[in-house]
């Protein structure tokens, strides 16, 4: 049993196709595999943890997500190395993804914190951090 470990995360999104396009390649780069697919969602899994993206219903789309409101601020993923952070940063830029804190990258969290921060299609902040 994996007591205390994260089982899954479920995120409602404004445009499921756009989110699948964005998250699919990124998660697969990190070693996740497609897990489940249905008309309004998809999930990816790594070991015993999975991440689910679901299309939000139209009636709940009147207020857009903002990471400074109550709720999720960001998702942070482990990278294998600083080299993986650098390679991913290049891929994100080539895909036109918004990179955050560009003046401080890759040391946004200080001299010992090597990471890239970026936004998904709904402007959820994502971090890839090296050991």
* Sequence-distant (≥ 6) Cβ neighbours of residue 34 within 8 angstroms: 24, 28, 42, 43, 44
Kindly compute the dihedral angle of the four CA atoms of residues 122, 109, 68, 94, in this order, to the nearest 10 degrees: -20
The per-residue pLDDT for range 57-70, each reduced to its tens digit, is 999 999 888 999 88
Instruction: Assess if residue 92 is contained within a domain.
Output: yes
- What are residue 107's DSSP bridge partners? none
**pLDDT recorded at residue 15:** 97
- As a whole number of angstroms, the distance between CA 31 and CA 78 comes to 11
pLDDT in tens, 81-110: 999 999 999 999 999 999 999 988 898 877
Is residue 21 assigned to a domain? yes
**CATH number of 46's domain:** 3.10.180.10
In a domain? residue 108: yes
Shared domain check, 78 and 131: yes
Whether residue 100 is found in the same domain as residue 48: no
Residue 11 lies in domain: 7-58
* Shared-domain flag, residues 54 and 100: no
One domain for residues 77 and 46: no
CA proximity to 118, closest of 94, 95, 92: 92
Do 53 and 93 belong to one domain? no
C-alpha 80/C-alpha 84 separation (Å) is 6
Q: pLDDT (tens digit, 9 = 90+) per residue, 20-32?
A: 999 999 999 999 9
Rounded CA-CA distance 84/75 in Å is 17
67 domain-assigned: no
Q: How many structural domains are present in the chain? A: 2
| pLDDT, position 5 | 86
Query: Which residue is it, tokens 């993986």?
Result: 84
pLDDT on residue 117? 96
The predicted structure's pLDDT at residue 1: 61
| Residue 130: band (very low, low, confident or very high) from pLDDT cuts 50, 70, 90 | very high
Residue 27 lies inside a defined structural domain of this protein = yes
């Amino acid at each position: 049993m994996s007591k205390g470990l994260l089982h899954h995360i479920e995120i409602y999104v404004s445009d499921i196709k756009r989110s699948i396009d964005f998250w699919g390649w990124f998660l697969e780069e990190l070693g996740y595999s497609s897990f489940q697919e249905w008309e309004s969602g998809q999930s990816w899994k790594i070991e015993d943890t999975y991440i689910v993206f679901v299309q939000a219903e139209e009636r709940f789309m009147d207020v857009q997500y903002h990471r400074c409101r109550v709720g999720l601020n960001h998702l942070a993923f482990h990278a294998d190395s600083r080299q993986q952070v650098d390679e991913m940063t290049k891929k994100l830029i080539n895909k036109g993804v918004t990179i955050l804190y560009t003046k401080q990258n890759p040391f946004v969290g200080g001299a010992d914190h090597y990471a890239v921060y970026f936004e998904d299609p709904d402007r959820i902040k994502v971090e890839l951090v090296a050991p």
